[in-house]
Structure 1
Amino acid sequence: MKTQYLSKQEIYDGAVRHLFGQGGAAILPRGGAAYRGQGGRCCPIGNLIGVRDYTTSMESVPVRYILKPTNEIPRYMDAGVIALRRALKRARIDVDDRDTVELLSKLQNAHDVFGTWEWKERLQSIARQFGLNGALVDTF
C-alpha cells in the first residue's frame, strides 16, 4: 500500500495554525529552540512528531540533515537524524523529497530564529517561495 503523504500546503497550514495557536516558541530548559520544549510547546516540526516517536536525541538536529549523506552527518547526531527521519515518515511526511524537507527547514527557521512579531511576514514569505496559499496567516 502506497503512503499518502501530506501535501506541502497541508504541512504549511498545519504549521501556521500551530504557531499562532501556541503563541510562542518552544525552548529547551537551558535555552535554545526545541522540537519539544518547556510547557508542552513544540516547534512546527516537533508538532508533526507523535508522542511515542519523539526522542531527545532529535534536539539540536536541524531538519535539513535528514537528507544529508551519512558521511556528512556528525557522529553525535546519528541517532537523532535516524529518529527524526523515522518519526517524520510515520507522520506522513515525504522525507526523501527535497522541496518538502526545504519547506520543513524554512518553517523550523521561522520558529527558531524569528520573534513572534515577525512570524506573519516570514510565513507569508515562505508561502510565496513555495507557491503556497498564505491566506491562513491573515486570519491570525
Structure 2
Amino acid sequence: MLIGNRQEAFDFVVRHLFKQGERAVAEGGGCLYRGPDGTKCAVGCLIPDELYTPRLEGNSVFMLPQRVLDQLPAPSLLNELQIAHDDPTNWWNPTRLRYHLTVIAQHWALNTDALEEAYNNATW
C-alpha cells in the first residue's frame, strides 16, 4: 500500500484508529508500531508488512530507515498523528480523540470528512 499524499494518509490513519479503538502498546504501556493482537499505531498502520521489523520499535517516525520513510508521506504530519495515538487521554472516549485529530487536520488544512465518518461509526 502506497499512500500518496497528506490527505490520503490522514484519512487512512483516522479510519484505522477509530476502527481499532485502542492504542498499540506493549505490556509495560509503551506505544508500539505493531502491538499485540494485531494492533497498529498511527504510523504502524502505514508501514507495509514487508518493511516492518521489530527493530523499528522505539524510534520516532523521523528515525525510521529511509526504505520505510520512502513509503510514508509527510513525516511531520505522521509525527503529530503518532502523538495523538500515544496520548492515553485520547482513548478515554472517541470525542477526545476526534478533538485532537481535528486540531491536526486544521493545522495541515486537511478535509475532515473521513474523520467525521470514522467518529460516527466508532463503537468504543
Question: Does the alignment reach a TM-score above 0.5?
Answer: yes
Q: CA deviation at 1:106?
A: 0.3
Query: What do residues 17-51 of structure 1 show as CA deviations (whole Å, max 9, x unaligned)?
Result: 10001111101133211100011000021011122
CA RMSD of aligned residues (A): 1.7
Given the alignment, which residue of 101, 105, 127 partners 2:75? 101
Matched letter for residue 99 of structure 2:
E
TM-score after normalising by structure 1: 0.74
User: Does structure 1 retain, via aligned residues, the 8 Å contact 2:32–2:40?
Assistant: yes
Query: What do residues 30-86 of structure 1 show as CA deviations (whole Å, max 9, x unaligned)?
Result: 3211100011000021011122211111111111x34xxxxxxxxxxxxxx32xx31
Q: How many residues align?
A: 113
User: Does structure 1 retain, via aligned residues, the 8 Å contact 2:33–2:40?
Assistant: yes
Pairs within 5 Å for 1:35-114: 35-63=33-61, 65-66=62-63, 81-82=64-65, 85-89=66-70, 91=71, 93-94=72-73, 100-113=74-87, 114=89
Matched letter for residue 131 of structure 1:
A
Structure 1 residue ranges without an equivalent (≥5) = 67-80, 95-99
Matched letter for residue 102 of structure 1:
S
